[in-house]
Amino acid sequence: MKLAVYSAQPYDRRFLDEARQNFAAGGIDAVYFSDALTLDTIPLAQGCEAVCVFVNDQLDAGVLAALHASGVRAVLLRCAGFNNVDLQTGHALGLFMARVPAYAPEAVAEHALAMVMTLNRHTHRAYARVREGNFALDGLLGMTLHGKTVGIVGAGQIGAAAARIFHGLGCEVLISDPMPLPQLAALARHVPLDELLASADIVSLHCPLMDSTRHMINAASLARMKPGAMLVNTSRGGLIDTAAVIEALKSRQLGALAIDVYEQEASLFFHDHSSDIIADDVFQRLLTFPNVLVTGHQGFFTIEAMREIASVTFDNLACYIQHRPCPNLLPAGIAATTAAPTPAAAPANTEAASIAPKK
């Protein structure tokens, strides 16, 4: 079988090839493309029965239909989120579509902590100063996290890991999630979102992106936040209305912002633009604030997580090849007319189910 891997960086090839060598089914010829999957790049998958994609690849109705017409029958997401997939079309076409629902959730949670610590204690600015021989402390004043209130919005596996981490630092942890979470009762207090926003010194987002969560951080929710609080997003860029966040930063209602994701990141992240002119004025405006920290969607980027992503991706492919139940199938679209070509019903989306209201 031939597998086309889109949005492939050198590190993707390293870990996918490692997993492919250990692949019990064998006989997989993987071809790697740095290009993202779009209508224009579908011809790259000519002769491939399966494609492997990432967070910013396009999997709308047109792309899925064209992939199917070209002979593709399996779509493997090497990520947890699937907001870029037209589920209804994919299932109607009978495509096998599977994801990696959880991979070293501590990796993303630890990155959220790293961003909080960096922004709070200004270590990125201190590093640059010291290298220039400037050892002045003015402008580097932070706060002690012990005893502060941290709000976790969305308590799937990553959110739960973040709750454990911040509880371990001696923070009071609040969780907002539609699902009851008795397993976290010893670590955190379950509260409505409005109470969390009003009480938390730090708000950390750990939600999937769907209609019910898109722009959940907007002008109204920012106004309900504790003045001067820090907002952290390591989930999906679309959770935040960036224009509203900029206004909140300008008015000092929002004290600091740390983001590893950005709503319009597809044309920016995972590539070197150091010699380019970045035409995104909103993104450029964000970078002008001294109390804003941006990283390029690297929360998942640890050795352990990359190995797990690659391993589960090939396990999913084995399910497709061997026509056996796959625990990681994408949930069926609302009006899907055909099931994926395995006998298993699609499982519930555990991350999404833990935060999104029931449909």
Helices 10-21 and 303-322, interaxial angle, to 10°? 50
Eight-state DSSP code of residue 189: E
Residues 245-272 as b or e (16 or more Cβ within 10 Å = b)? bbebbeeebbbbbbbbbbbebbebbbee
Residue 293 contacts by C-beta under 8 Å, 6 or more apart in sequence?
115, 118, 119, 124, 256, 257, 258, 259
Exactly one of 73, 78, 236, 351 is catalytic; which is it?
Answer: 236
Q: Tell me the CA distances in angstroms from 327 to 19, 251, 315, 332, 347, one per residue in order.
A: 19, 47, 10, 13, 6
Exactly one of 263, 265, 308, 351 is catalytic; which is it?
Answer: 265
Distance (Å, rounded) from C-alpha 74 to C-alpha 347?
Answer: 17
Q: Tell me the CA distances in angstroms from 94 to 6, 16, 339, 344, one per residue in order.
A: 21, 26, 6, 13
Residue 116: alpha-carbon gap to chain centroid: 17
Distance (Å, rounded) from C-alpha 43 to C-alpha 34?
Answer: 14
Residue 236 is among the residues annotated as catalytic for this protein:
yes
- Pair 109, 305: CB distance under 8 Å: no
Instruction: Strand 29-32: give its sheet, edge to edge.
Output: 29-32, 2-5, 50-53, 74-77, 96-98
Residue 132 is among the residues annotated as catalytic for this protein:
no
The candidate with the shortest Cα–Cα distance to 82, out of 45, 53, 111, is: 53
Distance (Å, rounded) from C-alpha 77 to C-alpha 184?
Answer: 29
Which residues are known catalytic residues?
A: 236, 265
